[in-house]
Amino acid sequence: MQWTLVVPLKPLAQAKSRLADTADDGLRPDLALAFAQDTVAAALACPAVRDVAVVTDDARAGRELAALGAEIIPDEPGSGLNAALAHGAEAVRSARPGSCVAALNADLPALRPPELARVLDAAAEFPRAFLPDAAEIGTTLLAAAPGRPLFPAFGIDSRARHRASGAVELSVAAVDSVRQDVDTGDDLRTALALGVGPHTAAAAARLLIPGQ
């Protein structure tokens, strides 16, 4: 079974505000783009992934991610993360009605294709399933089988909200790279320790992070 991944990305100038204690205003957009580039590149290298659709209105991000092989879908709703994901999933299924669709965070710079494959293989057993983030509060991946709506509920306490929506919580061992999203400086340090992709490594080299 192969999946289409829908990856949402807000305008880079607005991204990663919680990294303000680690990166200044001039570097945060570069970090956000680097996270997305490494996420998309790793996803496209995963044998369980057919293609990746990025929902964004950021022209720079669109160009860079399209160059990696992603399809770019304009964020026509412009109404936040969950609206963007629902729009992206609808666009994918309009073109390919039988698609398995999964929403994936754009800030997984340590993502490893074999670990993503294990998560997607586990998700294929259920109509809807999700993977909690490393903090065990949020969600990094939400999957829906063919014909099943995605019903994204990302944001604060999304783990609890996805569980309440009927999605099955996945328990897959040794998939730290799929769970480690980056919102804070501590998250970035953890991702760097796991081993990030080349775009994030280059951007992070411009930072002075204790313990890096």
Domains of the chain: 3-204 (3.90.550.10)
Mean pLDDT along residues 197-203: 97
Whether 44 and 66 have beta carbons less than 8 Å apart is answered as no
Percentage of the chain with pLDDT > 90? Answer: 91
Which pLDDT value is given to residue 23? 87
Which pLDDT value is given to residue 12? 96
Q: What residues contact residue 3 under an 8 Å CB cut-off, 6+ apart? A: 48, 49, 50, 99, 100, 101, 102, 120, 143
CA separation for the pair 23, 205 (Å, rounded): 11
**Is 158 one of the annotated binding-site residues?**
yes
CA separation for the pair 141, 6 (Å, rounded): 10
Asked if residue 210 has pLDDT above 80, the reply is: no
Mean pLDDT along residues 139-158: 97
Asked if residue 212 has pLDDT above 50, the reply is: no
Mean pLDDT along residues 192-205: 97
Mean pLDDT along residues 159-173: 98
Mean pLDDT along residues 22-48: 95
At 104, which helix (H) or strand (E)?
strand 100-104
Task: Give the number of other Cβ atoms within 10 Å of residue 173's Cβ.
Answer: 6
Lookup: tokens for 62: 């669109």
Asked if residue 76 has pLDDT above 80, the reply is: yes
pTM: 0.96
